[in-house]
Amino acid sequence: MSAETPLEPSEQKESLGASIRQIILWIVLIVAVRSLLVEPFNIPSASMVPTLQVGDFVAVSKMSYGYSRYSFPMSPSFISGRYFASMPHRGDVAVFRYTQNTSIDYIKRIVGLPGDRIRMEEGRLFINGQAVPRQDKGPYSVQDERGYVLSGTRYREMIPREDGHVVAHDILKMRDHDLANNTPEYIVPQGCLFAMGDDRDDSSDSRFQGGRETGACAAPPGNAYLSDSSGHDLGFVPIGNLVGKAKIVLFSVEMRHPAWQFWYWPVEIRWGRFLHGID
């Protein structure tokens, strides 16, 4: 048996150079896919239950609304405006940058477009003066990211899209008589969106305007809009903050135990949510 012939120094350099080129090519490819096509996001809170569960990993289409600085890693400031821009539809589940800290991603349902009039009355959503139809689907309970149990009624809500179609999706309602369920009427400014969580009573969303005091999407002065007691007011969402549309749940893990306890992994996987479409 003959021994392998050792590589000459020039051949070693060429082999190392080829490996480095392959690594760089893979990095460029991964960045391009995440920036231009699809990016995975983890759901850390219960603000979108029942539609999205804590521990879901969702695929977000970057092409749906066009591209801005927030489409790219580190949000490069030299990129301005939006390219290949497209407006979301009412009812879309969208990822966007948080209005008070654009390094943070939020995911909510878009319920109001520019010019729309939005209000809540006795727990019912009204769009342009019309109550959004819904059907009672019975009691529903879920555990949030803090381990608290959220119990209420599950409804099938039908949001009218601006093109005449209807987006049917589930919401959770736990109460109807507090300020967040009996709001003033919001008129969505041009260039802005109104976003809400499907967990209507445990979501810091566009109903809460106290933290949006400046900019084109600021609440008009003199209006008695709500403020979230946690200080996480979202306000109207600038269209430029959009990142993409949530399309599908790739997989889902309950995460009741620390990640290093690998023996729990098989029982914590929610097998029924693999490749689950998002309404």
The closest alpha carbon to 118, from 44, 196, 19, belongs to 196
The closest alpha carbon to 244, from 35, 28, 30, 32, belongs to 35
Q: Is 61 a catalytic residue?
A: no
DSSP string, 92-126: -EEEEEETTEEEEEEEEEEEE-TT-EEEEETTEEE
Catalytic residue (choose from 108, 203, 204, 206): 108
Beta strands 38-42 and 117-121, pairing class: unpaired
DSSP string, 223-238: ---B--TTS----SEE
For residues 38 and 105, what is the distance between their CA atoms, to the nearest angstrom? 15
Q: Is 47 a catalytic residue?
A: yes
Catalytic residue (choose from 45, 47, 64, 71): 47
Tokens standing for residue 43: 């759901």
Beta strands 130-131 and 124-127, pairing class: antiparallel
Q: What are the residue numbers of the active site?
A: 47, 108
